[in-house]
Chain A
Amino acid sequence: MRRIDPREAHIKPLPTPDADSQAYWDALKEGRLLLQHCRACGHKQVYQQALCRQCGAEELVHEQASGRGTVHSFSVVHRAPGPAFKQDTPYAVLLVELEEGPRMISSLAGADPMSVDFGNPVELVCERLDDGTVLPRFRPARA
Chain B
Amino acid sequence: MTAPSVGAAPQRNTIRGSAAIVGAGRSAVGRVPGRTPLALAADAAKAALADAGIARGRIDGVLASVAFAAPFHRFSVAFSEYFGITPTFSNTLQVSGATAATMFNIAAAAVAGGLAENVLVLGADSLLSGLSPDLALRSMTESRDQQYEMPFGIPVANTFAMTAHRHMLEFGTTAEQLARVAVIHREHAMRTPGAQVTEPITVDDVLNSGWVTTPYHKLDCSLISDGAVAFVVSAADRVGEFRSKPVYILGAGECYTHEHIFLMPSLTTTGAVQSSAKAYAMAGCTPKDIDVAGVYDCFTGTVIMMLEDLGFCPKGEGGRFVDDRQITYGGSIPCNTHGGLLSYAHPGMPGSLLHFLEVVQQLRGQCGERQVAGAELGLVHSLGAGFATQATTILGTEATL
- Is B162 in contact with chain A by the CB < 8 A criterion? yes
Specify which of A25, A103, A135 lies most central, judged by the most chain B CB atoms within 10 Å of its CB: A103
Say which size band chain A's interface belongs to. 35 or more
User: How many angstroms from the CA of A74 to the CA of B384 in the assembled complex?
Assistant: 19
Query: Among B153, B211, B215, which residue has the most Cβ atoms of chain A within 10 A?
Result: B153
A79-121 to B contact mask, C-beta < 8 Å, 1/0: 1111111001011010100000011111100000000001000
Q: Judge whether B151 and A12 touch: CB under 8 Å.
A: yes
| Cα-based distance from A4 to B165 in the complex (angstroms) | 30
| Complex contacts, B198 vs chain A, CB 8 Å | none
The answer to whether B135 touches A81, judged by C-beta atoms less than 8 angstroms apart, is no
Q: Chain A residues near B212 (CB, 8 Å)?
A: 78-79
Whether B211 contacts A90 by the Cβ 8 Å rule is yes
Smallest Cβ distance from B273 to chain A, in angstroms?
A: 20
A93 touches B158 (CB 8 A): yes
A2 is an interface residue with CB less than 8 A from chain B: yes
List 20 contacting pairs A-B, 8 Å CB cutoff, sorted by A.
A1-B68, A2-B71, A4-B135, A4-B142, A9-B134, A15-B151, A16-B146, A53-B263, A74-B214, A79-B137, A79-B157, A79-B212, A80-B137, A81-B138, A81-B140, A88-B153, A105-B152, A106-B152, A107-B152, A133-B151
Which residues of A approach B to under 8 Å, CB–CB? Answer: 1-4, 6, 9, 12-18, 21, 25, 46-47, 53, 72-85, 88, 90-91, 93, 95, 102-107, 118, 133, 135, 137
Q: Does B177 contact A (CB under 8 A)?
A: no
| Shortest beta-carbon distance from A128 to chain B in Å | 13
**Within 8 Å of chain A (Cβ to Cβ): is B327?**
no
Instruction: Look across to chain A and name the residue whose beta carbon is closest to the beta carbon of B142.
Output: A4
CA distance A110 to B326 in the complex (A): 44
For the complex, is B320 an interface residue (Cβ under 8 Å from A)? no
Chain B proximity of A55: nearest CB distance (Å):
16
The answer on a CB contact under 8 Å between A47 and B139 is no
In the complex, given contacts A3-B71, A83-B134, A105-B152, what are 6 additional A-B residue pairs having Cβ atoms less than 8 angstroms apart? A1-B72, A13-B142, A75-B161, A77-B155, A80-B153, A93-B152
How many residues of B are in contact with the other chain, CB < 8 A?
A: 50
B372 within 8 A of A: no
Contact A1 B71 (CB under 8 A): yes
Query: Which among B75, B135, B153, B213 is the interface contact of A6 at CB below 8 angstroms?
Result: B135
Q: Which residues of A contact B134 (CB under 8 A)?
A: 9, 82-83
CA distance A43 to B73 in the complex (A): 38
Q: Whose C-beta in chain A lies nearest to the C-beta of B216? A: A75
- A4 CB contacts on chain B under 8 angstroms: 68, 131, 135, 138-139, 142
Q: Does B281 interact with chain A (Cβ within 8 Å)? A: no
Q: Which residues of B contact A21 (CB under 8 A)?
A: 147
A85→B213 CA distance, assembly (Å): 13
Cβ–Cβ contact A47 & B158, under 8 A:
no
Verify B260–A47 contact, CB threshold 8 A: yes
Contact B141 A82 (CB under 8 A): yes
Contacts of A14 in B (CB 8 A): 151
Q: Which residues of A contact B182 (CB under 8 A)?
A: none
Q: Per a CB cutoff under 8 Å, which of A72, A76, A118 touches B213? A: A76
Task: Using known A-B contacts A1-B75, A9-B135, A75-B165, determine if residue A81 contacts B155 with beta carbons closer than 8 Å.
Answer: yes
Give bound CA distance, A76 to B213, whole Å: 5
